[in-house]
Homo-oligomer: A and B are copies of this chain.
Amino acid sequence: MMYNFNAGPSALPKEVTDEAAKAIINFNGSGLSILEIGHRTPLFEEVMNEARSLVKELMDLDAHHEVLFLHGGATTQFMQIPMNLLEEDETVAIADTGVWSGKAIDEASCFGKVAIACSSKDKNYNYIPDTIEPVVGAKYFHLTTNNTIFGTQWKNIPQVNVPLVADMSSDIFSRQMDFNSFDLIYAGVQKNAGAAGATLAVINKNILGKIKRRIPPIMDYAKHIEAKSMLNTPPVFAILVSMLTLRWLKTNGGVAAMEKLNNEKSRMLYDYLDSSALFKGTVRKDDRSNMNVCFVTEDNLMEKRFLEFAKQNNIYGIKGHRLSGGFRVSLYNATPLSSVQYLIEQMKNFENSI
C-alpha cells in the first residue's frame, strides 16, 4: 500500500483506475479497447456527453455556461484565453499569486496589455493579497483560485465588475462556490478531475465573439462549443478517466461532501503542524489551502531525514516544489482521511524519534 500525496498527476479513486484498466482491454462489452475505437461513434459520444453533463450537474451551471474538454493542459489556456478575449490595445487585470499566475501573465502579454491587480511576490507568495487594485477599463480579471506550489487559496473570491476568469486547476470540485458567477473556469484535469491529458473549460458563451482578432480555428472556443467539444480528435482516454472520476464524485456526495472531507483532512494536518516543534506551516493562516499543505523543518538535515523516513514508510510525493522548499502534502478529493491520519501518525513518530 502506497500513500500518495503527489501534487499532480495525483491519487485517483481505486474504482476509477480499476474501471479504466478494464476499458483498455474491453470497453463496455464492445470487444474493443477504448484506445482503439473511433471518437465519432456512439460508444465514445456517450462518454463525452456524460462527462460534460456531470460537470454541469456537479457545478450547478446555468444555460449560459458551456462545458468543454480540451487538449493541452492549463498552460495552453493561459494562451487560449487572451487569444479569444483580449484585443491588442486592451488590458487584462491579473492577480499575481505565484508561478501559474506568472505564466498566465507571460502568455497574456503576447496578445494585449497586462495590469497586475495585486501581488504577494514580496513574501514569496505565502499569502493571498487582501485587496485588489481596481483596473479601470480592464477587459477581464484573472485569478488562480488555489496556488499548488505555495499552498495558498482564495477563500473569498473578489467581487469585480468585469468578466471573471479563474484557473481552478488545483481546487476544482474541492469546495462549493457560485460557479455561475465566473465567466470562464479552467482546470488541467490531473488533480481533482482525472488524469493528465485533458483540460476542462467552463465558459459563459456571452463573453465570446467580442474581439476583432482572427482566432486560429483550433483555438476558437465558439467553434469548440459548436462542435460539442469534438472539433478534432479529442484525448479519448483522458476524457474517459475524467468521466469516471466525475461519476465517482457524484456517487460520493458531490462537491459539498468533498468540501467537508477536504476541510477535515486539511484541518487535522494544520492542527498538527501548529502543535509541532519540528514542522512549521509556511502560509499565512487565513490563506491556507485545503488542497496543498506546505511546511518546512528548521534545517536541511531534518528535511533529508524525514524524506527518507517517509519513503521507508510508503509515503509518496511530499517533497516541496524547489521554489517553496520543504514539504508539500496534497490532499485532493481522492486522498482518503485514513491516509492523512497515517501521515500525521508517521510525522509524530518521526518527531518523537529525534
Chain B residues lying within 8 Å of A262, measured Cβ to Cβ, are none
Chain B residues lying within 8 Å of A31, measured Cβ to Cβ, are 1-2, 314
CB distance from A58 to the nearest CB of B (A): 20
B232/A75 in contact, CB under 8 A: yes
CA gap between A74 and B215 in the complex, in Å: 17
Chain B residues lying within 8 Å of A110, measured Cβ to Cβ, are 214-217
Q: Mark A22-39, 1 if CB is under 8 A from B, else 0.
A: 101100001111011111
The interface stretch among A46-54, A130-138, A189-197, A250-258 is A189-197
Cβ-based interface call for A8 (8 A): yes
Cβ-based interface call for A176 (8 A): no
Cβ-based interface call for A4 (8 A): yes
CA gap between A199 and B30 in the complex, in Å: 27
CA gap between A37 and B215 in the complex, in Å: 35
Given that A216-B107, A237-B237 are known contacts, is A35 also in contact with B9, CB under 8 Å in the complex?
Answer: yes
CA gap between A32 and B3 in the complex, in Å: 9
CB distance from A124 to the nearest CB of B (A): 21
The interface stretch among A13-21, A156-164, A201-209, A343-351 is A13-21
Q: Count identical subunits in the complex.
A: 2
Cβ-based interface call for A310 (8 A): no
A196/B237 in contact, CB under 8 A: yes
CB distance from A237 to the nearest CB of B (A): 6
Specify which of B1, B75, B188, B232 is in contact with A73 (CB 8 Å cutoff).
B232
Cβ-based interface call for A79 (8 A): yes
Q: Mark A95-115, 1 if CB is under 8 A from B, else 0.
A: 000000001001100110000
- Of all A-B residue pairs in the complex, the 3 with the closest CB atoms, nearest first, are A197-B235, A35-B195, A75-B232
CB distance from A77 to the nearest CB of B (A): 9
CB distance from A86 to the nearest CB of B (A): 12
Specify which of B24, B72, B317 is in contact with A72 (CB 8 Å cutoff).
B72
Cβ-based interface call for A149 (8 A): no
Report, as a range, how many residues of chain A touch the other chain. 35 or more
CB distance from A246 to the nearest CB of B (A): 15
Which A residues are within 8 Å of any B CB, using their own CB? Answer: 1-2, 4, 6-12, 17-18, 20-22, 24-25, 30-33, 35-39, 71-76, 78-79, 83, 103, 106-107, 110-111, 188, 190, 195-198, 214-219, 231-238, 241, 314, 316-317
CB distance from A240 to the nearest CB of B (A): 11
CB distance from A107 to the nearest CB of B (A): 5
Given that A6-B37, A197-B237 are known contacts, is A217 also in contact with B32, CB under 8 Å in the complex?
Answer: no
Specify which of B35, B39, B214, B215 is in contact with A17 (CB 8 Å cutoff).
B35
A233/B2 in contact, CB under 8 A: no
Specify which of B6, B8, B36, B78 is in contact with A6 (CB 8 Å cutoff).
B36
Specify which of B7, B76, B111, B231 is in contact with A38 (CB 8 Å cutoff).
B7
B12/A233 in contact, CB under 8 A: no
A233/B9 in contact, CB under 8 A: yes
